[in-house]
Amino acid sequence: MKDFVFKTFIQLITFGYERIFHEKMSDEVKKFFKNLSYVGFGTVIATIFSFTFNILAGRILGPSGYGEFTLVQSVAMFLYIPMLLGFNTAMVKYNAEEENYNRQRSIISTTYILVFICTIVLIFVYYLFSSQISNLFSVPREIFYLSVGFAVLFVFYTLTTNTLRGLHEMKKYAIFQPIYGVILLLPFLVFVFLNFLSFKSAVFSMYLAYGITGGIILAFIRKYLRFAFDKHWANKLARYGGYAIIGGVSYVFHTNIDKILINTYMTVADVGIYRAYYFASINVAGLSFGIFNTVFFPTASKYQDKGAIFNRINKLRPYLIGLGVPFVFLCEFVILKLYGSQYPINPPLMTLFAVASICVVVDGLYGWLLNSVGWKGAKITSFATLIAAIMNVLANILLIPLIGIGGAITATILTYLLATFIKLRYRSILGAKYENRIEIARWYELPLLLLAIFCEFRGVYRSRARFALGLLMEAASHVLRRHTKFYTLKTGGKLCGVIVACSSAGESYLTHFTIFPKYRGKGLGKILLKGVINQLFDNGTKIIRLQVAEDNLPALNLYKKGGFIVIDRYKSWRGEGCDQLLLEKYASIEGRENKC
């Protein structure tokens, strides 16, 4: 049964991969998805338990109690950052680069010592300044103390699970995810049975889940731990972690300041409602991305060719947007129904949360790819996240008093877009160069291509309506993977030309060859024609034909230079004008290849 499920999963992934990237899956890609299947399976099981926990907590505690539980988590997310100082991310990065036991043991041991020292120091600092810090967050002292405990156990759990990631132990990582979920839910059910219906019951359940799961993992990785401090690795971890901590602080502000400001400007019940929407959308998308990134970041850290990964993310992005937003919207509707009538369903607000979810995922893809480069990439990510976090605080202060919860999520969308824009400005560090690329058009590019072709050739045809209908039929054939394909040329990441190729029985006919006006005169027509010819021949075409007006000398010369020969002349059937020439080019001449 397990083999059948895994085989089916790989077949589905292979089908989607080949449709999106137009290439066969390599063994390395198959290994990536194999690890992803382990993590995904374990995380999905864990999610069933954590999902049940959150729904029950929201329904039983109500918006106010659920809001207090949310505040404990939000404050803890600020407190844990100086305890970890980004050492966990640095540990994953450097451990994943090379599978060497002595090196990995040295990195892990040094990381644990550094985090232990930071945590002990911070506990005393938080205790001494508890009054001032709790006032800063506008929360009662009790919530602040609970947040400190939450932060300590979260650090322990995060450090141990990230150790497994850095060691590429994805199977073990997957096994511990359901253990965490079971330990999270069972104590809460016991508390409910004992009629302990306070937000503390949810907090204590998370204490137990983090502590017990982290302890079990620690027992499994104990061979990598020793009481030895390596100064070399401490310096490298500190350098990477120094930039990561900036990004970490900024990220926590980005993801938690909205809840704290809603509590300031509105009510704790509004925090609970916002948390329900957040859990139903951004947490759902974040869960999917978390599964992916568990494998993605260590894998990306291992490979030198970051530019190739960057280009694949660019190809994947439109599918994430087009399919992701409606999927998250549907998830919101279902989950909010489960929360109960105390959490109203607001379609416009759901749409904003769905859009924000995809913004978070896209930004995360580029951010973690940059982090995989090393401290320079972490520096860029931290800078982008810092700028976005500052703008997020300002946007929340401005928008929450004006439009409430909708203002908070609008601020999230705007600032994640800003962060993504900044990261893309520094893509050169990835070795990602936008070169001239010829590829089969994606479905979302067809409207632009059809409009460009229609504008270019509408004066040639007698009946524009028939011409438009023919184009639509060609587009339908392209989408359905029939005989027609739209080949595009992209330069600088921008669409700049198209050729339509109709293929059947080893023959291909080229139509509607055009370079967009602002890209003409740069030799791109030659590049597009050459690339399409070679792709068609590689895919089994034996002969390529096309036609051109006899007086269109630039195009005629281009075709002749590309190896086409004139085989016939006839009166134009398209409308008034000079004769049309029929040209053809064979894949081979006298047994020799005839590519461009």
447-504 pLDDT per residue, tens: 877 887 777 776 655 556 666 677 777 777 766 666 788 888 887 667 888 898 888 8
Non-local (6+) Cβ contacts of 542 within 8 A are: 506, 507, 586, 587
Q: Which of 64, 409, 50 is nearest to 271 (CA)?
A: 64
Asked if residue 358 lies in contact with residue 285, where contact means CB atoms within 8 angstroms, the answer is yes
For position 534, what pLDDT does the model report? 86
Mean pLDDT of the chain: 83
Any idea what DSSP says for residue 226?
A: -
**Domain layout of the chain by residue ranges:** 20-430, 437-593
For position 460, what pLDDT does the model report? 59
Tens of pLDDT, residues 355-407: 999 999 999 899 888 888 877 888 888 888 888 888 888 998 999 999 889 99
Q: Which of 353, 417, 366 is nearest to 387 (CA)?
A: 417
Tens of pLDDT, residues 488-498: 888 766 788 88
Task: Report the 3 state secondary structure along 383-420.
Answer: HHHHHHHHHHHHHHHHHHHHHCHHHHHHHHHHHHHHHH
Tens of pLDDT, residues 184-225: 999 999 998 888 888 899 999 999 999 999 999 999 999 998
Mean pLDDT for the stretch of residues 25-33: 70
For position 264, what pLDDT does the model report? 85
Confidence of residue 84 (pLDDT cuts 50, 70, 90): confident
Q: What's the CATH code, domain 437-593?
A: 3.40.630.30
* pLDDT surpassing 90 at residue 305: no
For position 591, what pLDDT does the model report? 45
Q: How far apart are CA 64 and CA 198, in angstroms?
A: 10
Asked if residue 512 lies in contact with residue 498, where contact means CB atoms within 8 angstroms, the answer is yes
Mean pLDDT for the stretch of residues 315-325: 87
* pLDDT surpassing 70 at residue 595: no
